[in-house]
Structure 1
Amino acid sequence: MSYSYGKWTKYHIMKEDHTLVGYLPKTNILSNAAFWELIHENGTVVIKPSEGSQGYGVIQVSKVREEGYEIHSNRNKIICGKNDIEEFLDKEKYGRKLYLVQQKIPLATVEDCPFDIRVMVEREENSIEWRVTGKLSKVAKKGYFITNIAKAILTVEQALEKSTIKDIDVNLLNIKIENIALLTAYQLREYYQSSRVIGLDIA
């Protein structure tokens, strides 16, 4: 059986592991029903193409008041009503490819800019052993909600020191991050057997 490299496929593979499932934001194929279910549950959702990369086509939608919603794309924000959201969801571009709607993860911030941690996991050719080869924190540019457009690249320690996260054991957090990354690599390896490098964004 062949497997797609899209986010939707990877999401289901990772959900099969009882430990990883607790770290995954709830995700569904974009439809009007799935969108309204998630935004009613969480207040904010992210819409993204399953096959997308570099943050292209990623949009955040938030409920800001009764029947009022904010659409945040790149640095642009507009406020609209429920009918406008329905038209937005029905746009042709969302019918041409597979889009996902996902629970928004509230990111910690550095100087009011969200950040996440990119972890690289690699294995040698003909080896089944994975190892973490690098970790860096990406701080989003002012006005952006995704970190693909970064204003700063910091070490994990620098980001945590400057961040809104307080009273945290950095060593224990680093161990936890690496364990999650390695567990993900071993879970995906079963299906993507030729892969030797995996990059993960951990929030």
Structure 2
Amino acid sequence: MTHTIIRSKMKKGIPLMSDPIISHHVPETNWFHASTLRRMLRAYSTLYIKPDIGRQGNGIIRIKKLADAKCEIAYGGTTSWCSSKYVYDEVVKRMNPRKKYLIQQGIELATYRKRPFDVRLVLQKPLNRWQLTWISAKVAPKATSIVTNIAKGAKDTKIIRTLKGIDQSLKPYKVLEELINVSYQVAQKLGSQFPLTIVGLDMGIDKKGKVWFIEANTRPDFKGLRKFDPVQYQRYLRAKKMLRKR
């Protein structure tokens, strides 16, 4: 099978949002328009606006709804405030006019030492079935961080150590089991729609322990991971070698 790189977040998200089971783990996601912004701002306290095609957390804008019809807009290390009446105009100022954007329900991620984190999982398909070859947490550098991308200062951490040390009262092994289960479902769904042999998933856990799909990468980055966890890295390499033999 020839592996295909799929760059559009929406293209990868549509099959997941259409699935009756997986859709419960996918934040509401729409194309960015003034109308979707108004509707979703009424429904959710936090929203993310993301370029449909983009990497490493670049160009992401976070909107938080505050009291007194005000909004907080965080973008590129800066934070500003405005009336909700003008939030659309303020957001558009920060967008690249040559790009298409999504608007997504914000998830209140669980925290480790007061910093939000998500989970990186990589699944490969060496013998016609998906195999989990990597899992680690990515902890944001600050409590106020917009994203948990390594390129934006987040740190890879061991998954069990992180789950055992989170600030919320959650059962680490139960959460881990759910994370892996949902990730396999996501990989299988995406693999049924596109020719894929590897997929990297960013998965979130909210403060109540629910598992959420954040993003799928069809060309996951392994930079720096060899030293971080040589055992898992060798597992990834073995699967990669088997795929080359096919």
Same fold (TM over 0.5): yes
| Kept after mapping to 2: 8 A contact 1:3/1:192 | no
Match of 2:140 in 1: 140
Match of 2:83 in 1: 81
| Kept after mapping to 2: 8 A contact 1:138/1:150 | no
By how many angstroms is 1:144 displaced?
A: 1.1
By how many angstroms is 1:22 displaced?
A: 0.3
Distance 1:94 1:36, change over 3 A: farther
Distance 1:178 1:87, change over 3 A: same
| Kept after mapping to 1: 8 A contact 2:118/2:148 | yes
1:190 aligns with 2:203: no
1-side partners of 2:34 and 2:79: how far apart? Answer: 21
1-side partners of 2:177 and 2:94: how far apart? Answer: 44
Query: Which consecutive residues of structure 2, in runs of 5 or more, have no partner in the other structure?
Result: 205-246
By how many angstroms is 1:3 displaced?
A: 9.7
SS at match of 2:186: helix
Distance 1:99 1:122, change over 3 A: same
2-side partners of 1:110 and 1:69: how far apart? Answer: 26
1-side partners of 2:84 and 2:71: how far apart? Answer: 7
| Kept after mapping to 1: 8 A contact 2:46/2:106 | yes
| Kept after mapping to 1: 8 A contact 2:32/2:102 | yes
By how many angstroms is 1:59 displaced?
A: 0.9
Which AA in structure 2 matches 1:102? Answer: Q
After the TM superposition, which residues 35-184 of structure 1 pair with which residues of structure 2 at under 5 Å, given as runs?
35-91=37-93, 93-124=95-126, 127-142=127-142, 143-148=144-149, 149-168=152-171, 170-184=172-186
| Kept after mapping to 1: 8 A contact 2:29/2:103 | yes
Deviations 1:122-141 (A, max 9, x none): 111xx320011111000001
SS at match of 1:120: strand
Deviations 1:51-109 (A, max 9, x none): 11110001100111222110011332111123442322444845422100000011011
1-side partners of 2:43 and 2:107: how far apart? Answer: 13
By how many angstroms is 1:191 displaced?
A: 2.2
SS at match of 1:65: coil
Match of 2:200 in 1: 199
Query: Which consecutive residues of structure 1, in runs of 5 or more, have no partner in the other structure?
Result: none
Which AA in structure 2 matches 1:185? Answer: A
With the length of structure 1 as denominator, give the TM-score of the two structures: 0.89
| Kept after mapping to 2: 8 A contact 1:14/1:20 | yes
2-side partners of 1:63 and 1:9: how far apart? Answer: 28
| Kept after mapping to 2: 8 A contact 1:118/1:138 | yes
Distance 1:92 1:164, change over 3 A: closer
Which one of the candidate residues 1, 14, 17 is aligned to 2:16? Answer: 14
By how many angstroms is 1:153 displaced?
A: 1.7
- Quick check: which one's strand share is greater? 1
Which AA in structure 1 matches 2:108? Answer: P
By how many angstroms is 1:179 displaced?
A: 1.3
- Percent identity, aligned pairs only, is 25
| Kept after mapping to 1: 8 A contact 2:61/2:91 | no
Which AA in structure 1 matches 2:199? Answer: I
2-side partners of 1:173 and 1:92: how far apart? Answer: 36
Which AA in structure 2 matches 1:164? Answer: D
| Kept after mapping to 2: 8 A contact 1:3/1:9 | no
By how many angstroms is 1:5 displaced?
A: 3.2
2-side partners of 1:129 and 1:59: how far apart? Answer: 37
